[in-house]
Structure 1
Amino acid sequence: MAGNEPTAGYDEAAVERWAPEPDKRPGRTAFQRDRARVLHSAALRRLAGKTQVVTPGTVRLWDASPRTRLTHSLECAQVGRELGAALGCDPDLVEAACLSHDLGHPPFGHNGEQVLDEFAADCGGFEGNAQSLRLLTRLEPKRFVTDRTTGEMTSVGLNLSRAALDAAAKYPWARGGHPAGPAFRKFGVYEDDRRIFDWVRADAPARDRVCFEAQVMDWADDVAYSVHDVEDGLHAGHIQPSRLHSAADRREIFTVAVLDARYVPADTDPEELGAALDRLQAQEWWPHGYDGSAVDQARLKDATSQLIGRFCTAAETATRAAYGDGRLTRYKAQLVVPRTTRMECAVLKAVADLYVMQRAEQERLRADQRVVVAELAEALTARAPEGLDPQFAALFDAAADDQARKRVIVDQIASLTDASARALHARLTMQA
């Protein structure tokens, strides 16, 4: 059937959907359909209202357009699509995964994520990656089918192909199942989404093996946000390039990088990070003395392009050296990123973390955001289904127990933008 046949390098299992369906427009591949469904989803549009790093309205008047989760996802998709294509992946499949990777992020990003995880502790916790899977397979209203077990009409979300859902699974395990041990909190599935998750992972050779397309997506994400967060920080005036030569500032940067193994292993030698920063600063295109002028803006844009090319070319070259030519898909290879390249990427993340995210005004803002999410969760718990969108109000009424009802409240809050979370919080708390 047109639109459902496997493409080169992929078998029939890869293009299978949980709910079989014909294609309305013959001639498209299964992965073109997947990409289109994510691109046209309301969940992707909502990312326009979710902060990436620099909050809109906090930058210089001449540059009032910092990146949002949406623009980050679009840029990640462009990086991932080209890198994936160079390595033999289906480019539409990798792009669909990149567009999907942040869909589950709640308002206020990782800050909101932490509050929701605490609130949902007795119903499985909260994790943005697990929420993305839930959204793609259940919450985003695109396709309803008769449930194979209950006989009732149920949502299957966007009903993406198995390979697309697998490619979006950055952490393909349940809570506590991280291969590095339970102390690592990232996970990709809630227990009540286990049935479709097990279907997605049916052909994985190992329980925690991440498919090749997901590895490409993950590296594209790292590349995009490490480079662009620094670019936004420079535009906003929070990062001064000259400070990166200061011995005291460099010690702080390296401490941030290894803190709780945030960006590099905790035993990383600071000299290795120092060498990575020195290599970047030695490049002719590095934005020394950035002052916001038109010329310097152009130089900075060239620097972002140079960095992205540097990081992607290093991964492509190393991976090809390990696996040779040919199509690298699904479980046929592992993405190889040289350690020196990972260190350069990590030091950029640490720079943005120190100078942008750790500013005093940002901590005050985060404290306020935590109060908004916590009070919103409390208000909805007391008053739901009041305050819930019609979709979630119906799910709340149909929920079997208190844990299921709490999960619906979590789903509702996670779907909100920063502004709509504040608006709903104000409405419900003023009525209290």
Structure 2
Amino acid sequence: MEVAMPVNRSAKFHEERRYGMPLDHDPRTPFERDRDRILYSSAFRRLAGVTQVAAVRELHLLHNRLTHSLKVAQVGRRIAQYLCMKHSDFAENVPGGPIGFPDIVESAGLAHDIGHPPFGHTAEAVLQTKMSKYGGFEGNAQTFRAITKLAVHAHVDHGLNLTRASLNGVLKYPRYKGEEKSDSADLQWPYRQKGSKWGVYESEQHDFDFAREGEEVAGRRSLAAVLMDWADDISYVAHDLYDYFRGGLMPLHLLHNECSSEFMDFARSRRGKDGYDRFDEDAFSQQYTELKRIMPDRKWRDTRDDRKILDRFQHDLLNLFRFAITPVEVDGNWELNIDDVAEYQVEVIKELTFFYVIMRPGLAMVQHGQKKIIACLFDDLMEMFSSHRNGRVEPNHPVPALLDDIYDRMVKHEQISGFSRSDENRRARSVCDFVCALTEDQAINLYERITGNSVTQGSIFGTWF
């Protein structure tokens, strides 16, 4: 599919920051500084304690959100470098040019999951329900809020103060809640141009307008965001597949001779729910057959040869996907063309992950408990915080200092920006921000302190199923 890029603007335009920068003699480019301040932020470091799919304290060595983000950044950077090296005309017309553009894409990859709460999408579903009457919740919108408001940097009082280009690169879904429905007629699988969700809160309007200035099509991703999204999918299907096979969750070695009808019916039923347009079932089936030919053909026993075979398979996947994207100039604008074969292969692996891993009873049981933890934290913190703010705080109900600080800074920011909301709405958003700043161990520990209940971190590998 093709993704259009906005008309190129001056280098200074893309390098601008919302709040300016102090004069100094730092030899780094503005985009190198973006990359470094994300990497060194506590908001990024927290991702080591946040799940990717399985819990971060599993006995098996699995990817967490930190290692996932590092690999998304690396894959995205290498694709950007490759495109700039192979296509000089294209390289001279991207934000940051051939030197800065890879830094922009890498920064977007590093930052893309910063706003995701403990327990990943499990907690996100709970917070979507809890925040439904307070402006909603979405992990990507929380990421944009984190880097523009909540994350800490020594020289600014508002987030990380990234450049316009880096902020725009992080916007995976550059529109407000409800706007994704207004342009749904334009959305066709695989959604690379706009995505199918929303990704910014109304409270970040000024930051959003700054990041999107100069974009000619509302809701369309920047070029860096397209590459970040593609790198995110590549990392998800290549690196996480590595975990699932080693952990015995996905029997890749058996797929060569396995009847595929059950899997195909499962995948088709999920597409029916999601309403995929422009989807070719025959192409999906064909690429499933093609992928089976390169999958490991022996059971995992954790030998050196097993690791070499799996590394070779992962290497083959990465090469299939990262070289499947090419720039094309159309009517004076540059567009990206992602090969349909690669798109279908990525979709096959995503569906295999749902079929063998995400729909497992063991994972569902763990996630059921995680939902209860997040729901309890939100409700109890809301009650405690409301009493605290009304001067009725009880000695045995102390409010975390960070929660108080988030609220106070929210009041300050809204006085400056002119954004208005009720105090109840403000308390709810503060609690949501606080929960999203926790690691999974911190969430469990706080839950135990509030409720007096002891929690054992669950495992999806429990044999009692």
Pick closer, same or farther for the CA change 1:364–1:249 going to 2, 3 Å: farther
**2:270 maps to 1:259:** yes
Kindly provide the amino acid, as one letter, of the partner of residue 349 in structure 1.
K
Aligned partner of 1:55 in structure 2 is 55
**2:184 maps to 1:180:** yes
Instruction: State the secondary structure of the residue aligned to 1:415.
Output: coil
Offset from partner CA, 1:239-282 (integer Å, 9 cap, x none):
11244246655532562366146889267344322210111222
Kindly provide the amino acid, as one letter, of the partner of residue 70 in structure 2.
L
Instruction: State the secondary structure of the residue aligned to 1:121.
Output: coil
C-alpha separation in 1, matches of 2:113 and 2:256: 34
Aligned partner of 2:210 in structure 1 is 199
Aligned partner of 1:167 in structure 2 is 169
Aligned partner of 1:40 in structure 2 is 40
Aligned partner of 2:329 in structure 1 is 323
CA positional deviation for 1:296: 1.2
What is the root-mean-square deviation of aligned Cα atoms in Å?
A: 2.6
Maintained 8 Å contact 2:287/2:344? yes
Maintained 8 Å contact 1:259/1:266? no
C-alpha separation in 2, matches of 1:242 and 1:266: 32
Aligned partner of 1:83 in structure 2 is 79
User: Which one of 109, 116, 126 corresponds to residue 127 of structure 2?
Assistant: 116
Offset from partner CA, 1:17-70 (integer Å, 9 cap, x none):
0011135442210000000000001011110001112334545xxxx3110000
Offset from partner CA, 1:126-165 (integer Å, 9 cap, x none):
11110011000000121566xxxxxxxxx31000000000
**2:338 maps to 1:337:** yes
C-alpha separation in 2, matches of 1:369 and 1:124: 23
Kindly provide the amino acid, as one letter, of the partner of residue 401 in structure 1.
D
Aligned partner of 2:442 in structure 1 is 420
Aligned partner of 1:213 in structure 2 is 224
Maintained 8 Å contact 1:413/1:421? yes
Kindly provide the amino acid, as one letter, of the partner of residue 184 in structure 2.
A
Maintained 8 Å contact 2:54/2:363? no
Aligned partner of 1:156 in structure 2 is 158
Maintained 8 Å contact 1:226/1:348? yes
Maintained 8 Å contact 2:384/2:399? no
Kindly provide the amino acid, as one letter, of the partner of residue 119 in structure 2.
F
Is the deviation greater in 263-272 or in 405-414?
Answer: 263-272
C-alpha separation in 2, matches of 1:26 and 1:262: 52
Maintained 8 Å contact 2:373/2:447? yes
Offset from partner CA, 1:208-263 (integer Å, 9 cap, x none):
12110110000000001011121110011111124424665553256236614688
Maintained 8 Å contact 1:216/1:335? no
Instruction: State the secondary structure of the residue aligned to 1:336.
Output: strand
Pick closer, same or farther for the CA change 1:372–1:387 going to 2, 3 Å: farther
Pick closer, same or farther for the CA change 1:78–1:10 going to 2, 3 Å: farther
Aligned partner of 2:306 in structure 1 is 296
How does the TM-score come out when normalised to structure 1?
0.86
Kindly provide the amino acid, as one letter, of the partner of residue 324 in structure 2.
A
C-alpha separation in 2, matches of 1:392 and 1:129: 21
Pick closer, same or farther for the CA change 1:123–1:260 going to 2, 3 Å: farther
Instruction: State the secondary structure of the residue aligned to 1:323.
Output: strand
CA positional deviation for 1:354: 1.3
Pick closer, same or farther for the CA change 1:267–1:244 going to 2, 3 Å: farther
**Gaps spanning 5+ residues in structure 2: where?**
1-7, 85-97, 188-194, 389-396, 412-421, 454-465
How many residue pairs match? The answer is 399
Aligned partner of 1:5 in structure 2 is none
Is the deviation greater in 30-39 or in 199-208?
Answer: 199-208
Kindly provide the amino acid, as one letter, of the partner of residue 248 in structure 2.
G
**Gaps spanning 5+ residues in structure 1: where?**
1-7, 146-154, 325-330
Pick closer, same or farther for the CA change 1:395–1:281 going to 2, 3 Å: closer
Is the deviation greater in 264-273 or in 413-422?
Answer: 264-273
Mapping 1:64-83, distance limit 5 Å: 64-83=60-79
Maintained 8 Å contact 1:130/1:189? yes
**2:95 maps to 1:94:** no
Bigger relative contact order (CA 8 A; separation at least 6): 2
C-alpha separation in 1, matches of 2:275 and 2:241: 18
Offset from partner CA, 1:379-418 (integer Å, 9 cap, x none):
1011125565423213335756110111000000111111
Instruction: State the secondary structure of the residue aligned to 1:304.
Output: helix
How does the TM-score come out when normalised to structure 2?
0.80
Pick closer, same or farther for the CA change 1:69–1:79 going to 2, 3 Å: same
Kindly provide the amino acid, as one letter, of the partner of residue 405 in structure 1.
R
Pick closer, same or farther for the CA change 1:85–1:209 going to 2, 3 Å: same
C-alpha separation in 2, matches of 1:108 and 1:253: 29
Aligned partner of 1:307 in structure 2 is 317
